[in-house]
Amino acid sequence: MSDAPSVERRQVTVIVVTYQSGDVVGDCLRSIPAAFAGLPAPCVVVVDNASTDSTATEVATAAPDVLFHRLADNLGYAAAINAGLEVSTDRSGGAVGPVLVLNPDIRLQAGSAAPLVAALDVAGVGIAVPRIVDEDGTIQLSLRREPSLLRTAGEAVLGGHRAGRFPAFGEVVTDPAEYERPGNVDWATGATMLVSAACFDAVGRWDESGFLFSEEVDFALRARDAGFEVRYEPASTVVHLSGSSSTVPELWPLVVQNKLRLYRSRHGRIRSAAFTTATVANEAVRAAAGRPANRAALRMILTRSDPDPRPHAAQSERRPGSGMVCFSAQDWWYFNRAHSDFQLLTRVAQVEPVLLVNSLGMRMPKPGLSTKPATRIVRKLKSLTRGLRRPLADTPGFAVLTPLFIPVYTPGRVRDFSNLLVRKQVEWAARRIGITDPTVMVTLPTAWEAAQPIRRSSLIANRSDRYSAFGEADEAWVSSLERDLLEHADVAVYASQSLLDAEAHLTSNPMFLDHGVDLDRFVDVAEIEPAPALARIPGPRIGFFGAIDDYTVDLPLLRRIATEIPEASLVLVGPTNCSLDEVTSLPNVHWLGACEP
């Protein structure tokens, strides 16, 4: 499953994740050039988790040519890696080679990159890891076996180091001989790991649910599930400065919690309960020996408390669990992102988390009447494959979900099940990004059935259109959904004053949100030079700019405008997926197609 040698010899992308790393990141960056001697110079991306110390200054001083990407908040190790991947993908135009993930307190030794890159050429290898030593050259026990019930119990009874001598009873590989020869392992600590492009393509994004610790375990096990191996290569040596998180009372409970969460995600309830029991025993033995970190972890398990994932980070002033879940009438992946809903939500995401739930055809209550159904089905299937993603590297608080649903538009058990299926996916995704007490905004009335049972702090009805008036809609049914949504809404937001006036009696708290066009900023046409294609069209001109289809664009209205104002030219600019013959057949209508801005 590994890439061919010629592929893996492509430029390596180095992602360094920082948080309050001003005292160590400079030396890390300065060690990179010598490490890549004999290889193409890597593309280095530093992703910073909103540090407040000298990290940015140190990066600029040590390596002024690297790409420094600062997140708006401390989102955790996995989120930073994902952001770094998105930034590097955008920078390269979509073609990224192997990726080397580094802690900022790593010092790469000269020539250490080449053995890792060569290790990816071994058949089946998707991840390569080096030998890790302390500053004095002492080997750090970085190799691991997959967490299991027997190994956790074995460590409780025998102690971690003694149990590690026996593969069946210990998770940590403690035999010194194992660190002298190359070979495949279940996983390794993630301070330094090189991942092939093929492995990243198959495994996907790092899991951001744990914030810190266990991300590399999850990624390595998912890589194995996809057919890739983790390769230990002792010919590559790096120095790791920091101490173990097992001695820090603030961090060790998070390690244990994420270990339990990871095990539960891969095993059934009975085995997970037994694993938790073994973990309690393991932590209790060490807590009894007077270790504060293990006492804190034991307290966390027994009280079912949630350890603070950011013990040293400035806490957000937002209400715990708050955020916005929006059931949209558009799909982020193929609608124009200049749409007002998208613009509004990406701005909200700079303050608190936002989950945009893509419309997946719930807006078409009468299947069979839509234009180009095959095209619509294909693009929605493509959207579905994206699942839950954070599409904007500079706005990590903005997430997009394309939920699985059943395209049934008549009341009954199947539709009820589809609504339940959508709701469960939305609730899961909201929890994944830290939203447990959301403000729910519903744009599409046919999403109201799925959204209504969600526990929420408030409800916004986003009345951007009267959907019951759409030609493909079951007017009576959709109208009833619109009325019920307005009745339950804490506030109804309108982009149209006429629609607000018509529905003011249906809602207790209507609000007009203007279109946002600043007319004062329009310049006199005499001050601009029109494009050649536009200059050839006689004036006065009436313009329409945007994607054109016969579902969201009222083609008969455009024809009526052109017919009733024959002295004006109606200019249409934008791509279309339907025939415009009924409009363009008029002599004063001009369609220019999709034009570059």
Residues 451-477 have pLDDT tens digits of 999 999 999 999 888 877 776 667 788
From the DSSP assignment, how many helices (H) and strands (E) are in the chain? 22, 22
Instruction: Tell me, yes or no, whether 407 lies in a domain.
Output: yes
311 domain-assigned: no
Give the end-to-end CA distance of the chain in Å, rounded to a whole number: 43
Are 75 and 170 contained in the same domain? yes
In a domain, 131, yes or no: yes
Pair 39, 69: CB distance under 8 Å: no
Residue 116 lies in domain: 5-242
Q: Does residue 548 share a domain with residue 453? A: no
Q: Is a pLDDT exceeding 60 seen at residue 368?
A: no
- Residue where one domain finishes, among candidates 462, 478, 512: 512
- Name the burial class of residue 277, with classes exposed (0-12), middle (13-18) and buried (19+) by CB atoms within 10 angstroms of its CB: middle
- pLDDT at position 366 over 50: no
Considering only residues 117 and 314, tell me which one the structure prediction assigns the higher pLDDT. 117
Q: 184 phi and psi, to 5 degrees? A: -85, 145
Kindly state whether residues 15 and 146 are assigned to the same domain.
yes
Mean pLDDT of 347-365: 76
Are residues 162 and 189 located together in one domain of the fold?
yes
Q: Is the pLDDT of residue 101 over 90?
A: yes
Q: Please state whether beta strands 183-185 and 229-240 pair in parallel, antiparallel, or not at all (unpaired).
A: antiparallel
Residues 485 and 532 in one domain: no
Residue-level length of the chain: 597
Contact 214, 262 (CB under 8 A): yes
Instruction: Please indicate, yes or no, whether residues 396 and 531 belong to a single structural domain of this protein.
Output: no
Q: How many domains does the chain fold into?
A: 4
Q: Which tens digit of pLDDT belongs to each residue from 280-305?
A: 887 887 777 777 777 777 777 776 65
Average pLDDT, the chain: 82
Kindly indicate the confidence band of residue 165, based on its pLDDT and cuts at 50, 70 and 90. Answer: confident
pLDDT value of residue 33: 96
User: What's the whole-number mean pLDDT along residues 521-533?
Assistant: 66
| Better-predicted residue by pLDDT, 502 or 334 | 502
Q: Which of 194, 217, 242 is the last residue of a domain?
A: 242
Query: What is the percent of the chain where pLDDT is above 90?
Result: 32
What CATH number is attached to the domain comprising 358? 3.40.50.2000
Decide if 128 contacts 12 (C-beta within 8 A). Answer: no
| Average pLDDT value for residue range 207-215 | 67
Angle, helices 149-158 vs 269-288, to 10°: value is 20
Between 596 and 183, residue with greater pLDDT: 183
Q: What is the pLDDT of residue 99?
A: 95
- The verdict on 380 and 497 lying in the same domain is yes
What is the rounded distance in angstroms from the CA atom of residue 57 to the CA atom of residue 70?
Answer: 12
Does one domain contain both 286 and 213? no
pLDDT at 315: 39
Percent of the chain clearing pLDDT 70 (strictly above): 84
CATH code, domain carrying 162: 3.90.550.10
Peptide bond into 234 cis (omega under 30): no
Same domain, 44 and 135: yes
Instruction: Looking at the structure, tell me whether residues 278 and 188 fall in a common domain.
Output: no
Are 177 and 35 contained in the same domain? yes
Q: Which of 91-105, 239-253, 317-331, 582-596 is predicted with the least confidence, judged by mean pLDDT? A: 239-253
State whether 437 and 350 are in the same domain.
Answer: yes
Tens digit of pLDDT for each residue in 389-425?
Answer: 888 876 778 999 999 888 776 778 888 898 899 999 9
Measured distance CA(346)–CA(392) in Å, rounded: 9
Above 60 in pLDDT, residue 246? no
Is residue 199 domain-resident? yes
